[in-house]
Amino acid sequence: MWLPQLDLMRVISAKSQGYSIATQITGPTTVNGLERGSLTVQCVYRSGWETYLKWWCRGAIWYDCKILVKTTGSEQEVKRDRVSIKDNQKNRTFTVTMEDLMKTDADTYWCGIEKTGNDLGVTVQVTIDPAPTPAPTTPTSTTFTAPVTQEETSSSPTLTGHHLDNRHKLLKLSVLLPLIFTILLLLSVAASLLAWRMMKRQQKGTAAPGGRPLLCRPDPAAGRNLPAKGYHEAFLCPG
């Protein structure tokens, strides 16, 4: 593939309305893409070139550029690696798509038409911008709560409330039981002391000082006033 010097100068230097101009094909002057993204280049040709093969070539020097992908003469899309080309013969345009762009993809490319003799071509400058740095995201936790019906809410206490009630009951019993036991013990001791004091008083009333039994003697005065027979003898007891 080669061009005479005159045709080469026309391809490189002639420009109009933002397009690099060849005699029979036009394309955008520059195309910009984003790293890890994709870009599309659309080249337009004149009537009569519909069934000719179209290609996409990389390299600033026309006769030394490398053809990356080429049509088959039909409208069927052809793809090689990350580059695809598709001809629309009705609209007389062919579209080149580059995917998964890298910074090293930035270069001079050519839209071209293969023909006998000198091929037709127009340069397209491709630039690649760096991908934006994603903002750091803080991890979030999601808690799923099962829905509870109104009937369940009103009729049955929660498990946590049930456990809390039991703990309060156990705490009350642990305090009340020793208290009740202490009160009962004090009452028992008090009753025992009271019974012991009452027994002591009874023993004191029926025993002589020193713990000896009381000795009673007959009352001589009472015997003088009683008849000789059928009387009971009276006794005097100390105290």
Q: What percent of the chain has pLDDT over 90?
A: 43
Q: What SS3 state is found at 34?
A: strand
Question: Which has the closest alpha carbon to 50: 83, 18, 13, 94?
Answer: 94
Kindly state the tokens that stand for 11.
Answer: 């391809």
H/E stretch holding 174: helix 159-205
The domain made up of 25-129 has a fold known as Immunoglobulin-like (2.60.40)
pTM for the model: 0.50
Domain ranges of the chain: 25-129
pLDDT digits over 29-39, tens only? Answer: 999 999 999 99
pLDDT at 70: 97
CA-CA-CA-CA torsion sign (170, 171, 176, 177): positive
Q: Residue 94 class from Cβ within 10 Å (0-12 exposed, 13-18 middle, 19+ buried)?
A: buried
